């Protein structure tokens, strides 16, 4: 019974690891580096996805969108929601909606003093757009639009540079309106904006939605209404309720962001896949380290293991002894890895990685211009899963050496040199 006690397993396992400290240390450090690498790469990847979620979902898509049924596939100018005020009144009254912002969009020919180019007008409600995103805060020169329509324009900084537009200068917009007439007008440039969305920054023009409605001959209309829910975890329930509430207000559809943009949803599905790839690295390093260390230990302790079998230690308990030894090694590795990984995560969260060398504007990825300083984001579950994986893989990897040790014949093992 004494041989089967927990104290026996712990003392013998710890002593065996200490016999060859150098080998044990090398194995533990290798596993610890795997843990730290997994933590750092996961935090780094999560930071990237947080930034992309901010730009792609919170600023471009919202949690849900209300549109004409034909607009998402065609984006025709006349596929508009016609009674904007009534729709907004219903959305504002819904308890699950934190904010709703209408948008009127269309393609135009934009001209400065000497140059012209194709552009995309985005008519927004300045008061409402502040509640659904950070657009007004992304003005890099000048100011954002007044809350009342005043024929003002805020342009993407790339477009302003291409057309040579300056603050206070005039911007000419020409287009074919929804009623077939020629829409054209002059607008005063009051600001330039950097949204992080490459397409908007290179070709976007923001107008007050009433000014855009006059340009496109679409008064009191919107092509989409971006909805931000009060609870991001209740998007589906809010969407279902809004579909019922808006059913009698003409042809329209309400869709969550992952239905609006399946490719964006697929992109974010890669977030957890990245964590699993990092875990695979930890699995490989841990398994190799444990198998190597435990197998060498078994070979070197053949006579000792034979003595333990001879004095009554059963095979199952001998297997347990080897497994406990591997778990001790995993515990040391996990502790070191958490310290190293915590330091790496702290650096990434606090200072991040500077990508200024990639260009003055930062790094472009999947059409999204990320900030030049790329900071990490730490989630608890990947860290817990990484540590648990070290222990699990160590226990599984030790079964092979433990099985070999359990098959030893006591008399033969004792005679081994």
pLDDT band with cut points at 50, 70 and 90 for residue 211: very high
Q: Is the pLDDT of residue 15 over 80?
A: no
Q: For strands 152-156 and 182-193, give the pairing.
A: parallel
Between residues 364 and 86, the one the model is more confident about:
86
Q: Is the pLDDT of residue 1 over 50?
A: no
Instruction: Please state, in angstroms and rounded to a whole number, the distance separating the CA atoms of residues 46 and 339.
Output: 20
Least confident piece of the model among 10-19, 79-88, 357-366: 357-366
Between residues 155 and 325, the one the model is more confident about:
155
Instruction: Please state, in angstroms and rounded to a whole number, the distance separating the CA atoms of residues 383 and 397.
Output: 21
Q: 142: helix, coil or strand?
A: strand
Residue 300 has a pLDDT of 66
Instruction: Please state, in angstroms and rounded to a whole number, the distance separating the CA atoms of residues 382 and 282.
Output: 12
Residue 210 has a pLDDT of 97
- The answer to whether the CB of 394 falls within 8 A of the CB of 326 is yes
Vertex 313 angle, CA 309 and 315, to 5°: 80
Instruction: Copy the structure tokens of residue 404.
Output: 């070999």
Instruction: Copy the structure tokens of residue 284.
Output: 């490989």
Instruction: Please state, in angstroms and rounded to a whole number, the distance separating the CA atoms of residues 103 and 91.
Output: 15
Residue 239 has a pLDDT of 96
pLDDT band with cut points at 50, 70 and 90 for residue 408: low
* Residue whose pair of structure tokens reads 């033969």 in the numeric block: 412
Residue 2 has a pLDDT of 44
Q: What are the sequence ranges of the domains in the chain?
A: 2-56+265-415, 69-251
pLDDT band with cut points at 50, 70 and 90 for residue 370: low
Instruction: Copy the structure tokens of residue 13.
Output: 């396992």
Instruction: Please state, in angstroms and rounded to a whole number, the distance separating the CA atoms of residues 361 and 81.
Output: 36
- The answer to whether the CB of 334 falls within 8 A of the CB of 384 is no
Q: How far is the CA of 179 from the CAs of 248, 270, 379, in angstroms?
A: 25, 44, 52
Q: Is the pLDDT of residue 359 over 80?
A: no
What percent of the chain shows pLDDT beyond 70? Answer: 86
- The answer to whether the CB of 285 falls within 8 A of the CB of 31 is yes
244 phi, psi to nearest 5 deg: -70, -40
Q: Is the pLDDT of residue 352 over 60?
A: yes
Instruction: Copy the structure tokens of residue 144.
Output: 């954002």
Mean pLDDT across the stretch 128-140?
A: 87
Least confident piece of the model among 7-21, 27-41, 117-131: 7-21
What percent of the chain shows pLDDT beyond 90? Answer: 44
Residue 288 has a pLDDT of 74
Radius of gyration (Cα) for the chain, nearest Å?
A: 32
Alpha-helical (H) ranges within 54-140 are 71-74, 84-93, 126-132
Mean pLDDT for the chain? 84
Q: Which of 48-57, 366-375, 377-386 has the highest mean pLDDT?
A: 377-386
Q: Is the pLDDT of residue 148 over 50?
A: yes
Q: Is the pLDDT of residue 185 over 60?
A: yes
pLDDT tens sequence across 222-266: 999 999 998 888 999 999 999 999 998 889 999 999 999 888 888
Residue 257 has a pLDDT of 92
Q: Is the pLDDT of residue 35 over 90?
A: no
Mean pLDDT across the stretch 100-107?
A: 95
């Amino acid at each position: 019974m004494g041989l089967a006690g927990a104290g026996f397993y712990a003392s013998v396992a710890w002593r065996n690891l200490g016999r060859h400290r150098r080998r044990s240390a090398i194995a533990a450090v290798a596993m610890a580096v795997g843990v730290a690498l997994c933590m750092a790469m996961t935090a780094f990847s999560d930071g990237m996805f947080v930034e992309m979620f901010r730009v792609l979902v919170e600023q471009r898509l919202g949690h849900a969108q209300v549109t004409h049924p034909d607009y998402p596939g065609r984006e025709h100018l006349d596929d508009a929601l016609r009674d904007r005020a009534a729709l907004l009144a219903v959305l504002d009254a819904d308890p699950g909606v934190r904010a709703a912002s209408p948008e009127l969009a269309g393609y135009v020919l934009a001209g400065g003093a000497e140059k012209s180019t194709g552009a995309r007008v985005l008519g927004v409600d300045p008061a409402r757009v502040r509640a659904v995103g950070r657009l007004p805060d992304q003005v890099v020169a000048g100011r954002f639009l007044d809350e009342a329509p005043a024929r003002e324009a805020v342009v993407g900084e790339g477009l302003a540079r291409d057309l040579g537009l300056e603050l206070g200068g005039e911007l000419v917009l020409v287009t074919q309106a929804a009623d077939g007439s020629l829409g054209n007008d002059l607008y005063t440039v009051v600001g330039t904006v950097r949204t992080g969305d490459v397409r908007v920054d290179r070709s976007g023009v923001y107008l007050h939605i009433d000014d855009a409605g006059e340009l496109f001959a679409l008064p009191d209309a919107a092509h989409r209404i971006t909805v931000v829910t009060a609870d991001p975890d209740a998007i589906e329930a809010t969407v279902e309720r809004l579909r019922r509430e808006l059913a009698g207000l003409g042809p329209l559809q309400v869709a969550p962001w992952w239905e609006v943009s399946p490719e964006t949803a697929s992109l974010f599905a890669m977030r957890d896949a990245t964590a699993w790839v990092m875990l695979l690295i930890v699995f490989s390093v841990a398994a190799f380290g444990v198998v190597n260390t435990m197998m060498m230990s078994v070979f070197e302790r053949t006579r000792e293991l034979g003595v333990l079998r001879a004095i009554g230690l059963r095979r199952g308990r001998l297997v347990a002894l080897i497994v406990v030894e591997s778990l001790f090694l995993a515990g040391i590795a996990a502790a070191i890895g958490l310290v190293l990984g915590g330091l790496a995560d702290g650096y990434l969260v606090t200072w991040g990685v500077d990508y200024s060398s990639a260009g003055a504007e930062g790094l472009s990825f999947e059409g999204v211009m990320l900030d030049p300083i790329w900071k990490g984001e730490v989630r608890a579950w990947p860290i817990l899963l990484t540590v648990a994986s070290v222990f699990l893989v160590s226990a599984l990897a030790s079964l092979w050496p433990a099985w070999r040790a359990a098959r030893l014949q006591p008399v033969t093992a004792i005679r081994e040199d």
